[in-house]
Amino acid sequence: MSDDEAPRLHGYGVRFDPDVQRYRVRNEMTGEWLRQTTGELASFTFFSDAYSAWKVFEVHPRPGEQVR
């Protein structure tokens, strides 16, 4: 998925892809999409799973988080 396709997805970091009814994960710092080992875009059925993957994929302090 190229960056010009990104606006059709809603959200920040974790985005819902209405075409496949799945969540996608994007590193907003680099613009990179989380991919499976096969190179295909990773997709998640549940938001909580996608959010957990995003927290590992995009590592930086978020608003309100304390730096350890």
Q: What is the pLDDT of residues 1-34, one digit of tens each?
A: 455 555 455 567 899 999 999 999 998 878 889 9
* Domain annotation covers residue 67: no
* Domain annotation covers residue 40: yes
CA–CA dist 14, 28 (Å, integer): 10
- Which pTM was predicted? 0.71
CA–CA dist 47, 68 (Å, integer): 26
Show Cβ contacts of residue 45 under 8 Å, excluding neighbours closer than 6 positions.
Answer: 22, 23
Tokens of 38: 């096969």
At 51 the three-state DSSP class reads helix
Averaged pLDDT of the chain: 81
- The per-residue pLDDT for 10 is 57
What is the count of structural domains for the chain? 1
Strand 14-17 relative to strand 22-25, pairing? antiparallel
Neighbours of 21 (CB within 10 A): 9
Per the structure, the complete domain to which residue 38 belongs is given by 3-57
